[in-house]
Chain A
């Protein structure tokens, strides 16, 4: 297959745009898309300190490399936060990879663990509480821990490796759970508070497969494998279904994401700050929309 731009050997076909790209033109397209997304959403300002949530998998590792490259042209500070959930060998391998990549790029990193933060590992909690959905628990702890670590590091923003596929899955998950308002905070915070470090998602317009191709072409190490708790994940089921639809109707993911952005705009016009009043959690003092925050409620339901 020949590159649609230069006639060279195509390393990928983008079915959604019916184009075939060689290594050089794929890299150009990919990096341009990343930079355009950063600009489109005003994600990074000069001089800011950006904390990358680094898992050691392909998405966050590629993000680290892209941000590193960008920081050389548009000065901003970069650090990495590596989260250790305590999922045995799976996480150990990824952490080693994350550390190695940080060392290659000369980026300082900090490892923060569930064990230190909540007093148990994910393996401990799931092993002793069969009723607990590991993905829900993991997501809530991770969000809070990353926010805490980013605040302590003095970061202005947290950059996470969410890609187009993740965004589409999140849209579906929130609709399936009848929580459409959660989508409103996907791209920008609903409530501006110094307690919350804003999250940015510079890979949001890039399909997951293209991130893998970029990693392979650039020799970026990714210790990717499947999370041992993946079978409990609603996200995984949605991921496979969406990929089947994408294969049959190329461009579906991009169209869903574009629809989401339009809906988000309309929905934001119909809500005001008053609709999102936050108070302090009665147990931990963190800001929450209910009396007791989700993390405290989850921790109460776990016996160790």
Chain B
């Protein structure tokens, strides 16, 4: 799987629901949105090895 987060792109091994990946990467579910293969997606969507996944932080402090 290709993972894009915080402007960085990396190969990452993960299978399972997107919300588990969000948690694993240290984000809170309420503070990010997820794009799978360029499409905005539910955080319950299952991710597979061939996917390109982008985690976008949308909630900031202050």
Interface set of A (CB-CB < 8 Å, partner B): 1, 9-13, 15, 20, 23, 58, 135, 165, 207-209, 212-213, 216-217, 224-227, 229-231, 233, 235-236, 239-240, 243-244, 246-247
Contact = CB atoms under 8 A, between A and B. Distances in A.
Q: List the 6 shortest-distance A-B pairs measured between CB atoms, nearest first.
A: A236-B61, A212-B58, A227-B62, A230-B61, A230-B62, A243-B30
A10 B62 contact: no
Contact of B28 (A10, A23, A247): A247
Contact of A243 (B31, B41, B45): B31
Contacts of B44: 1, 13, 20
Contacts of B32: 209
Given A1-B44, A1-B45, A212-B33, A227 B39 contact: no
Nearest to B29: A247
B15 to A, nearest CB: 16
Contacts of A236: 61-62
Given A20-B44, A244-B28, 6 more contacts: A208-B30, A209-B31, A216-B56, A226-B62, A236-B62, A247-B29
B55 to A, nearest CB: 13
A227 B28 CA distance: 19
B42 interface: yes
A224 B42 contact: no
Given A209-B31, A240-B28, A225 B59 contact: no
A10 B42 contact: yes
Contacts of B45: 1, 10
B40 A11 contact: yes
Interface of B: 28-33, 39-45, 56, 58-62
B33 A213 contact: yes
A290 B30 CA distance: 40
B40 A208 contact: no
B27 to A, nearest CB: 10
Contacts of A233: 61-62
B40 A213 contact: yes
B29 to A, nearest CB: 5
Chain A contact residues, majority secondary structure: helix
Given A209-B30, A209-B33, A243-B28, A1 B61 contact: no
A58 B56 CA distance: 14
A12 to B, nearest CB: 6
Given A10-B42, A13-B42, A20-B44, A209 B62 contact: no
A259 to B, nearest CB: 19
A235 B44 CA distance: 29
Contacts of A15: 29
A209 B40 contact: no
A275 B11 CA distance: 63
Contacts of B59: 165, 208-209, 212, 239, 243
A86 to B, nearest CB: 15
A217 B35 CA distance: 12
A226 B42 contact: no
B39 A9 contact: yes
B58 A209 contact: yes
A217 B62 contact: no
A23 to B, nearest CB: 8
A55 B21 CA distance: 32
Nearest to A9: B39
A50 B41 CA distance: 35
